[in-house]
Amino acid sequence: MVPLFPLLLASHVVCAVVSLLLFLIRGIPSLVLERPLPGRFFRVAPHVTDTLLLATGIALAWTLSLDPLQVPWLGVKLLLVVVYIALGILAFRLHGPRRWRLVLFTLALLVFADIVAIAVTRSPLGLGSL
């Protein structure tokens, strides 16, 4: 039998990488190069990947019996996931000036980097602990 935990962890990490790639594929043409958004696939696929990222993350936390209210790095990571999603929605859907949307897109990428740093170091300080 394939052990569940390594499989879940590998799926979670693959979802994280694909999620970042799709975010860049969506954001760079529309916000940086001012070209039209790529086709429908690149608008729908991020929702699928992000749902899988969330589901595998919850499954990992459940498997390890980690409670985000008791484990600071997981609590901070979850909060930052919400911030990352909110910044992404604002960057792509806001009808404001392009430079503001670019700032939101860049902030979302920084938050993503912090989430990965928190996951790898298991410290709520994330990038600050490196």
Residues at the site binding ligand HEM, with contacts judged by CB under 6 A: 9, 12-13, 16, 53-54, 57-58, 60-61, 64, 66, 77-78, 81, 84, 112, 115-116, 119-120
Could you list the beta-strand ranges (E) of the chain: none
Smallest separation (angstroms) from ligand HEM to the CB of 90: 16
Quick one: 31 or 53, whose CB is closer to ligand HEM? Answer: 53
| Residue of 92, 113, 111 lying closest to 101 (CA atoms) | 92
| Choice between 6 and 39, CB closer to ligand HEM | 6
In sequence order, what are the residues at sequence separation of 6 or more whose Cβ sits closer than 8 angstroms to the Cβ of residue 112? 20, 23, 84
* Shortest CB 103 distance to ligand HEM, Å: 19
Phi, psi of 124 (to 5 degrees): -65, -15
